[in-house]
Amino acid sequence: MGEQEKRERPASRRDFLKTATCVGAGAALAGALPVGAYAAGDETIKVALVGCGGRGTGAAAQAMRTPGPTKLVAMADVFENRLKGSLGHLSKNLKDKVDVPPERQFVGFDAYRKAIDCIAPGGVVCLTTPPGFRPLHLEYAVAKGCHVFMEKSFAVDAPGIRRVLKAGEEATKKNLKIVGGLNQRYSQSNQEAIKQLQSGIIGELVTGYAYRMHGPVGFAPKAAGESDLMHQIRNYSCFTWLNGSFMLDWMIHNLDVICWAKNAWPASAQGHGGRQVRTQPDMLFDHYIVEYTYPDGTRMIAQARHQSNTWGFFADIIHGGTGCATLGEGVGRARICKGHHLNRESVLWEFKGGNDSYQTEHNVLFEAIRKDTPHNDTERCARTAMTGILGRMAAESGQLITWEKALASEKQLAPGLDNFTMESDAPVKPDADGRYPIAMPGKTEVL
């Protein structure tokens, strides 16, 4: 996503020809391949990028750098300038692997469909828009028989999570490969540390602490003539219907690592949060603390803060019966110590070496496609996202909420999102002073 919108206009002959050309090109690129196959006779895997921001551009580059021939053939975004900027960067750095002529550059809320149509079936789509859009984009990709890389987070509310889970089940039936952007799962450091922890090196795992503490999330003022909808999308990290809150979108990796180590998902959560120092006209809490309880009674404490001039820490710490560990996003090399102080004198185990987990997740996806081996991250990605959503619901409401009630919730943060156009009203509106609604614990209804 970028800074300016391109307004929709009535369909023209040029629009019709663009769509027809793409459908024809997609058919030519994919041929009559079965869904599980990877490409045409030259073994080139065709790729589409949906969401052309910085992370999307990076994901497309990583897809192009996987072993074996690949080609980026279609791109989509709601901001034309963001698409053009991404294309320029990719063309400059990977020019032999980029073939995205104007007729395969799509702008608008339905652009994802057109880009996916260009590589369906059997191609790979990188879904890297704000996470509020992930469920509908994933559904369409699976329906069209495409393999998927989907960046975190994966939904922002329980109805979205249920859509993602259902799409993942359909993907398995169709032998489609899906990798989710929980890149810490693809970190060799974390993989080896989790093996050590689950083997009992420090006994039973009792408490996990997830931290994400750093400076404030940025906010761009509304541009002259910019609609509320496009302003919010441009600032997606600041609006709950788009990013699911700081608790979800920024904390998700740290929550995931502790659930991975515990090999369990929370049974309930309670917590609190609010805006103490933040003054920007958006929806963000600037601090959270959430206590999760697992089915066995053990706990995870998630602490999040984005405020200036405060203590910063970005890691996971896990305590077992006889020791502790530090690992996860924000930690270069995982370390496990005897006792409950993380210091050099008490190290039991420390990871040596490393890998680029962002590149590895793409390598795994494309290898699974080329070798036609099963790979589908959807369920665990959805459950990790639900963990963040549960924490947001508990903190915003001030209530203790169970996993079952949270997952069964029918509350949508952006009703009707599937049918949005460039002229749609935003799901949340500013007041007369240009400020947006903030959740109030004890008053806000989240279920």
Any idea what the CATH number is for the domain that residue 329 is in?
A: 3.30.360.10
CA of 340: how far to CAs of 202, 288, 321, 329, 348, in Å? 10, 25, 9, 20, 12
Mean pLDDT along residues 296-306:
98
- SS3 at position 103: helix
**Quick one: which of 272, 260, 268, 263 has its CA closest to 303?**
272
- Please write the tens of the pLDDT for every residue from 402-424: 999 999 999 999 999 999 999 99
Residue 444: inside a domain, yes or no?
no
Give the ranges where 294-425 is alpha helix by DSSP (H). Answer: 357-371, 378-397, 403-408
Does 356 have pLDDT greater than 60? yes
Q: Are 88 and 212 members of one domain?
A: no
Quote the tokens at residue 438.
């903030």
Q: Are 259 and 279 members of one domain?
A: yes
User: How many other β-carbons are positioned within 10 Å of the β-carbon of residue 95?
Assistant: 9
Cα dihedral sign, 14-74-164-286: negative
The residues, any chain, with a CB within 8 Å of residue 233's CB and separated by 6 or more, are: 1, 78, 79, 130, 242
Does 173 have pLDDT greater than 50? yes
Cis before residue 153, ω within 30 degrees of 0? yes
Residue 432: inside a domain, yes or no?
no
Residue 424: inside a domain, yes or no?
no
CB-CB contact of 338 with 322 (8 Å)? yes
Whether this model's pTM surpasses 0.95: no
CA of 254: how far to CAs of 153, 237, 321, 389, in Å? 13, 17, 21, 14
Residue 434: inside a domain, yes or no?
no
Does 318 have pLDDT greater than 90? yes
Cis before residue 121, ω within 30 degrees of 0? yes
CA distance linking residue 172 with residue 420, whole number of Å: 29
Quote the tokens at residue 86.
């991404």
Q: Are 141 and 198 members of one domain?
A: no
Does 188 have pLDDT greater than 60? yes
Cα dihedral sign, 266-362-119-420: positive
Quote the tokens at residue 239.
């609006």
pLDDT for res 279: 96
82 sits in which H/E element: helix 80-93
Does 10 have pLDDT greater than 60? no
**What type of residue is 100?**
V
Q: Are 180 and 292 members of one domain?
A: no
CA of 85: how far to CAs of 132, 149, 387, in Å? 23, 21, 34
| CA R_g for the chain | 22
Mean pLDDT along residues 355-370:
98
CA distance linking residue 366 with residue 43, whole number of Å: 12
Q: Is 224 exposed, middle or buried (0-12, 13-18, 19+ CB in 10 A)?
A: exposed
Distance between start and end Cα atoms, the chain: 30
Q: What is the DSSP-derived secondary structure letter of residue 201?
A: T
Does 348 have pLDDT greater than 80? yes
User: Could you give the number of structural domains in the chain?
Assistant: 2
- Sheet with strand 105-107: strands edge to edge: 105-107, 70-77, 45-50, 124-127, 147-150, 178-180
Q: Are 27 and 105 members of one domain?
A: yes
User: How many other β-carbons are positioned within 10 Å of the β-carbon of residue 132?
Assistant: 26
Q: Are 160 and 210 members of one domain?
A: no
CB-CB contact of 314 with 329 (8 Å)? yes
**What type of residue is 236?**
Y
pLDDT for res 28: 37
* Mean pLDDT for the chain overall: 92
Q: Are 286 and 406 members of one domain?
A: yes
Using a pLDDT cut of 90, give the percent of the chain over it. Answer: 90
Residue 114: inside a domain, yes or no?
yes
Q: Are 204 and 295 members of one domain?
A: yes
Does 25 have pLDDT greater than 70? no
Residue 27: inside a domain, yes or no?
yes
CB-CB contact of 317 with 209 (8 Å)? yes
Q: Which domain holds residue 180?
A: 13-184+360-378
Does 34 have pLDDT greater than 90? no
pLDDT for res 332: 86
Q: Are 164 and 198 members of one domain?
A: no
Residue 431: inside a domain, yes or no?
no
Q: Are 374 and 396 members of one domain?
A: no
CB-CB contact of 56 with 137 (8 Å)? no
CA distance linking residue 334 with residue 350, whole number of Å: 6
pLDDT for res 42: 60
Q: Are 162 and 139 members of one domain?
A: yes
Q: Which residue has the higher pLDDT, 273 or 20?
A: 273
Q: What is the CATH number of the domain that holds 369?
A: 3.40.50.720
Q: Is 102 exposed, middle or buried (0-12, 13-18, 19+ CB in 10 A)?
A: exposed
**Quick one: which of 189, 204, 228 has its CA closest to 5?**
228
Using a pLDDT cut of 70, give the percent of the chain over it. Answer: 91
Q: Are 124 and 163 members of one domain?
A: yes
Residue 59: inside a domain, yes or no?
yes
Does 1 have pLDDT greater than 50? no
